[in-house]
């Protein structure tokens, strides 16, 4: 296993490699219990153009970075994805959560797949495609997972604009019997 970096050095290693393309960085320190054990959450906002290289850079820190899930939400002009990784697991209180946010422009929300690096990312990438209407370039299985095939095309349940599901929602008390 490669040497473990401190949170500050870890963020610095990203900034040295990608310079201004790392738009924001934040280190959160939380404590828990009587012994005040500390754990770290790191948040990075990266430019879309270097996204795949950032993921490759994580592999230099940890042989098998664990991808928990990809979260996502719509922000008006952009669609943001948050990749939740954990690295340095396997030793007591050493793990660091690494959360990488990437903004995609709404007219052309395309992101590269990371399934070639982490095969376990498949389901979560499929989910983002159907829920947020993004396009994952090079995804090995381009089909729906959670919503059924007869669900109308062009409606994305997590969107907050007119492509959202609002029109399909009915409140039970409003339905005439």
Partner 1 sequence: MSPEATTKTTYRLPIGPIHPALKEPVAFEFEIDGERIVDVRVSLGQVHRSVEWAGMRRNPIQILYLAERICGICSYCHPMAFALAVENIADIEVPERAEYLRVIQAELERICSHILWAGVAAHEIGFDSVLFLTWQMREKVLDLTEYLTGNRITKAITMIGGVRRDITKDMVPKVTEALNYFKDNFEKLRHIFLDDKTFKMRSQGVGILTKEDALQLCACGPTTRASGVKKDVRLDQPYFAYGDLDFDYVTPDILTGEVNGDVYDRIIVRLLEVKQSIELIEQCLDLMPAGDIVSEPKIAKLLATLKKVKGEGIGRMEAPRGEVIHYVKLDENEHPYCWKVRAPTYNNILPWIPMLRGEQIADIPIVAASTDPCMSCTNRVAIVDSGKKYELNREELHKMSVEKTRRLMK
Contact residues: partner 1, CB under 8 A: 28, 30, 32-37, 39, 41, 43, 64, 66-69, 71-73, 82, 84, 86, 89-95, 97, 99, 118-124, 144-148, 157-158, 165
Rank residues 8 and 16 by Cβ distance to partner 1 and give the closer one.
Answer: 8
Rank residues 16 and 64 by Cβ distance to partner 1 and give the closer one.
Answer: 64
Backbone angles phi, psi at 22, to 5 degrees: -85, 105
Here the tokens at position 109 are 């929300």
Least CB distance from residue 5 to partner 1, whole Å? 16
Rank residues 17 and 41 by Cβ distance to partner 1 and give the closer one.
Answer: 41
Least CB distance from residue 85 to partner 1, whole Å? 10
Q: Three-class SS of residue 35?
A: coil
Rank residues 22 and 98 by Cβ distance to partner 1 and give the closer one.
Answer: 98
Identify each DSSP E strand in 10-148 by its residue range. 22-32, 37-46, 66-74, 78-87, 96-105, 110-112, 135-137
Least CB distance from residue 172 to partner 1, whole Å? 13
DSSP 8-state code for residue 161 = S
- CA–chain centroid gap for 64, Å, is 17
Q: Three-class SS of residue 17?
A: helix
């Amino acid at each position: 296993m490669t040497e473990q970096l401190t949170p500050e050095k870890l963020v610095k290693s990203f900034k040295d490699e990608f310079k201004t393309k790392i738009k924001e960085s934040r280190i959160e320190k939380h404590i828990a219990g009587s012994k005040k054990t500390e754990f770290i959450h790191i948040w990075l906002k990266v430019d879309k153009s270097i996204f795949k290289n950032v993921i490759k850079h994580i592999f230099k820190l940890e042989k098998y970075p664990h991808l928990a899930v990809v979260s996502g939400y719509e922000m008006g002009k952009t669609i943001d994805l948050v990749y939740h990784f954990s690295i340095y697991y396997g030793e007591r209180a050493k793990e660091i959560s690494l959360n990488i946010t990437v903004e995609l422009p709404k007219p052309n929300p395309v992101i590269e797949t990371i399934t070639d690096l982490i095969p376990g990312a498949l389901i979560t990438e499929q989910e983002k495609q159907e829920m947020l209407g993004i396009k994952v370039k090079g995804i090995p299985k381009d089909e729906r997972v959670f919503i059924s095939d007869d669900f109308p095309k062009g409606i994305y349940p997590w969107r907050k604009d007119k492509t959202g599901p609002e029109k399909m929602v009915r409140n039970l008390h409003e339905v005439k019997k």
